[in-house]
Amino acid sequence: MIKNILIIFIATLLTACISNPPVLVPDSLKNDSISAIGMTCNSPYKLEQDCSSLSGPTKKVFISGVEMKVAGTSDGKVIVMFGASSISPNMQEINTSYELIKRELVSNEVDILKVTPVISSNILFGYAIETDKSAYSFISKEDR
């Protein structure tokens, strides 16, 4: 009985998440999304720094006390950031994390060229951030 109720509750939550599109940061609104399920460490970007084929970005960082996970290309010009949990992504936390990364990039005179949301089943997992110069090394520092 309790098991059936739990299954119905979880199904209802998942349906609610799937039916409502995520709220995205303004910088990403003009760009198509990347499928979180289809994304790998080799596609659509070759993420050679801190990436797991099972879970995506693996490097835990904290910016202004907000935890997030990041991965990057070998040249550091693409940063993929996810929220603290890939199992239960928190859209508000992910958007805040992006804004904190953006602030770090701007303060280090790095221009953001493109921001692409990483989404599956209308659930926001994070963003791929393309920059004009190498930025991964200072974003991937553990605490700021």
Note the pLDDT tens digit of each residue in 16-36.
445 688 999 999 999 999 999
Structural domain contains residue 126: yes
CA quadruple 117, 90, 68, 27: dihedral positive or negative? positive
Peptide bond into 44 cis (omega under 30): yes
Please indicate, yes or no, if residue 61 is contained in any of the structural domains: yes
pTM of this prediction?
Answer: 0.84
Is 68 within a domain?
yes
Determine, yes or no, domain membership for 9.
no
Query: What does the DSSP 8-state code read for residue 36?
Result: T
Residue 16 lies in a domain: no
Whole-number pLDDT of residue 93: 96
Q: pLDDT value at position 86?
A: 78
Domain encompassing residue 82? 23-139
Report the number of distinct structural domains present in the chain: 1
Please name the residue ranges forming H helices in 20-130.
91-107
Residues in the chain where the model's pLDDT stays below 70: 1-19, 143-144
Please indicate, yes or no, if residue 15 is contained in any of the structural domains. no
Cα 140 to the chain's mean position, in Å? 14
Q: Tell whether 125 is covered by a domain.
A: yes
Is 71 in contact with 77 (CB distance < 8 Å)? Answer: no
Contact 104, 144 (CB under 8 A): yes
Task: Assess if residue 41 is contained within a domain.
Answer: yes
pLDDT of 92 reads 95
